[in-house]
Amino acid sequence: MKYSRVMCLVRGDDSDKEAIDTAVSLLSSNNRSLQLVYVIVVDRRFPLDAPNPSQYRKGESVLRDAEFATGLRGGVRGSILQSRSIGPVLVREALDYGAEVIVASVKILSTSNARAIDSDAEYLMANAPCAVVLVREPAKGFETASVQLDQNTLLRANGDD
């Protein structure tokens, strides 16, 4: 499925490449618009609108790199937002932008017996006004095994002898 208005969260980490590539692949070929969003998370000890020049400079750098990484000419804009958490501000921005899909990287949280996605991704899945695509990097330390089957094995599996 292709979309004309895609919003993509960039964090300034290794997950950005996969998120950006996914966002670009979802764009339609005509009348397309990609909004890259960097969120400065403000600690509750500080006012929400407290200036943070170093974080703002980092956000500008991340957006500049992300815009270049899209490989697109035109139709890309970047926004730096400040919020207490990422999920709610992305939902609000998606409404304002008219996003048809949000692309965001997800962090997998692990405990000894369970895995879960981070709370921002959960919030997006529950509250986004549009489609949501979550991307993650492959699990570390997990190798997929490829099994080579010969034609006889396949025939036996299908009940043909």
DSSP state of 158: T
How many separate domains does the chain show?
1
What residues make up the domain containing 82?
5-157
9 neighbors 90 (Cβ within 8 angstroms): yes
Q: Kindly tell me the sign of the dihedral angle through the C-alpha atoms of 14, 88, 8, 134.
A: positive
Question: CATH number for the domain including 115?
Answer: 3.40.50.620
d(C-alpha 11, C-alpha 115), whole Å: 22
One digit per residue, the tens of pLDDT, for the chain of length 161 reads: 899 999 999 999 988 999 999 999 999 988 899 999 999 999 899 888 888 889 999 999 999 999 999 998 889 999 999 999 999 999 999 999 999 999 998 877 776 666 677 889 999 999 999 999 999 876 655 444 444 444 333 443 434 44
Strands (DSSP E) found in the chain: 5-9, 33-41, 76-83, 101-105, 108-110, 115-117, 131-135
18 neighbors 135 (Cβ within 8 angstroms): yes
pTM: 0.80
